[in-house]
Structure 1
Amino acid sequence: MSTARFIRRSLVALLIGWLTTGAALANERWVVLGGDIAETLAALDADINVIARDDTVVYPPAMAELPSVGYLRQLSAESVLSIKPDQILAAGHAGPKEVLEQLAAVGVGIEIINAPPSLEAIGDKVRAVGQLTDRREEGDVLADALNAKLARLANLPNLPTTRAIFIMQHSGLTPRAAGSNTAAHTALEAVGLENAFDEMQGYHSVGAEALARQAPEVVIVSERGLAAMGGEAALWQLPGMALTPAGREQRLIVINDQALLGFGPRTADQLLTLRQDVEALLGASTSIQNSTAQRSP
């Protein structure tokens, strides 16, 4: 056989393999587990096969409207199997582990994206999803863009020392604030704020005495948290809030916690927006626009 004929046959075989793989992927039924994974699929335009999700997937809206198989960490094999999936793409904290093992045992393909809850891992997560969904090039491009935005944020000048409270939820008259080892704490540090409650671990309710003692200068609250407590007027009426610098000056920033803290494709932009909001609130001169202008040729 001539070299030219061999090359032609090899190319034909490779093309047939690609077409067969593409047809198989097009007919597969996927379940996505994890809001960050769902957002990444959508950002890479790789969500066409997704027919179901878990409760943490609330964005994009089209995916949020899909049937849910339950809560990410408390799945049941029966619920997942009821939608007859071929493939599951899951965040590393999906579970229980035994349920995933049951699903794999009956032939459901399972791909788990293990990534630490850190800003540095966002790009790696995007690349991993790109590789698993035949969007390697798109994944590399998106990961590079997100890493560039995070690097831009990290290189901004320091803000004036400012203590903040990050309120995630609200119950009765007691706000639930973020301590250290939380995504919210990471976000505060990333934009140059000090967490007024960094001595506590995780999310905890904080009363009037703690608010007055820790004296936050800025309140950052999720949209859902502010709505749950009855709006901004109700926030400033919380016991102890009037004793804080934030309460006296009514310094408030409202954020989309799912976009900011999901450590997905939207996080970098949300952090940059939060930084701008903080600068505007403090009247700081270390603006993102000025920093960008200084680096322009």
Structure 2
Amino acid sequence: MKRWRCLLLGLGAGLLLGYQVALAEAPRTVVIGSDVAEILAMLDALEGVVGRDDTSQYPERVAALPSVGYLRQLAAEGILSLAPERLIVGAAAGPREVLAQLEAVGVEVVRIEQGANLAALPAKIRAVASAIGRDDAGDALVSEIEAKFATLEAQRQTTQGPGPSAMFLLSHSGMTPMAAGRDTAGQAVIEAAGARNAFASFNGYKAVGAEALVNVAPEVVIATRSGLEGIGGEAQLWQLPGLAMTPAGHARNLVVCDDQALLGFGPRTPTTLMALHSALRSAVTDTTNEEGCWRVTS
């Protein structure tokens, strides 16, 4: 009995030592880009991660890390203050000169080239998984994501008639609200959710006047939670020139989505698109949802 106890204690000590060594070997890592951060979290690979950028706010374990600033306006000094050995950066990270400076002083910079594109999400997951040596976990996560895309497609196929004409409103505090046109993330999520972009006649994001709003007559407004807060809430939204004279304005038809869950093009995006599809097709009011998308009617 004593011999077995010693063997078990020895085995336990060996496993603990191995776990501690594994933790010690995880390089000090700063992650740049909410999509990359969420993929790392889904792969259970946050060991060694010591910093993030401003957009990386999910899950809470990531949000609790110190931020090195906005992903497009990085500064070498702020990043180096965390003494990183490695950066894992999304496609939008920059400036390039800053990343080059970091490489020049010996910081490994792993670039995940797949950007804000729904079709590229599986390849993005595999790229992150390969960078950290977790290919099998990456393949498993890709299978989950592809199953969710298949469910979304099935949802779209079972709905009757064309989707509603939607306006995706981009807004931040202090900026003029803009509508999403062609070749934007806003249009991508509208179409993925089975709706039609009311402003597909122009490229990019543009401020639109009252006459343009009345002419295109959107049936529903899609806004992000922070965007809605940026213009002062729902009451201020319907005060935008011309919006009250549209079908969306008459019905006060609004769908609100979590910013990064919808537009981050990370692991949460397929589920959020399913929620958006349901919200666009449902008359149910749900203002208690903390993630995804929910419809607000008043």
TM-score by length of 2: 0.82
Deviation at 1:234, TM superposition (A): 2.3
Match of 1:255 in 2: 257
CA deviations on 1:88-124 (whole Å, 9 max, x unpaired) are 1011221111211111111111111110421111111
* Matched AA of 1:55: D
Per the alignment, residue 43 of structure 1 pairs with 42
The aligned counterpart of 1:77 is: 76
Deviations 1:227-282 (A, max 9, x none): 22222222223221121011111111111121101100000000001111111139
What does residue 277 of structure 2 align with? 275
| % same residue | 49
In 2, the alpha carbon distance for the partners of 1:165 and 1:50 equals: 38
Matches within 5 A, 1:76-225: 76-155=75-154, 156-157=156-157, 159-169=161-171, 175-225=177-227
User: How far off its partner does 1:26 sit?
Assistant: 3.4
Deviations 1:273-297 (A, max 9, x none): 1111111139xxxxxxxxxxxxxxx
What secondary structure does 1:145 align onto?
A: helix
The separation in 2 between residues aligned to 1:232 and 1:105, in whole angstroms, is 48
Q: Contact 2:23–2:47 (CA<8 Å) still a contact in 1?
A: no
Partner residue of 1:285? none
Partner SS state of residue 203, structure 2: coil
Q: How many residues align?
A: 264
Question: 1:27: Cα distance to partner?
Answer: 4.2
CA distance in structure 1 between the aligned counterparts of 2:94 and 2:174, rounded to whole angstroms: 31
Structure 1 unaligned regions, length at least 5: 1-18, 283-297
CA contact 1:173–1:238 (8 Å) conserved in 2: no
Q: Quick check: 2:26–2:47 contact (8 Å CA) kept in 1?
A: no
Residue type of the alignment partner of 1:194: R
**Separation in structure 1 between the aligned mates of residue 127 and residue 26 of structure 2, nearest angstrom:** 22
For residues 119 and 25 of structure 1, do their structure 2 counterparts lie closer, same or farther at Cα, with a shift above 3 Å needed? farther
Structure 2: stretches of 5+ with no match in the other structure: 1-17, 285-298
Moved more, 217-226 or 273-282: 273-282
Partners in 2 of 1:147 and 1:261 — Cα distance?
A: 18
Q: Which of the residues 244, 247, 258 maps onto 1:245? A: 247
Contact 1:52–1:69 under 8 Å retained in 2: yes
Other structure's SS at 1:115 match: coil
Question: Secondary structure, in 3 states, of the residue corresponding to 1:281?
Answer: coil
Name the counterpart of 1:28: 27
Deviation, 1:83, is 1.2
Q: Distance in 2 between matches of 1:171 and 1:39?
A: 25
Whole-angstrom distance in 1 between the partners of 2:144 and 2:250: 40
Shift of 1:190: 0.5
In structure 1, what residue type is equivalent to 2:118? L
Q: Is the 8 A contact 2:68 2:78 kept in 1?
A: yes
Q: Which AA in structure 2 matches 1:165?
A: M
Distance of aligned partners of 1:237 and 1:153 in 2 relative to their CA distance in 1, 3 Å threshold: same
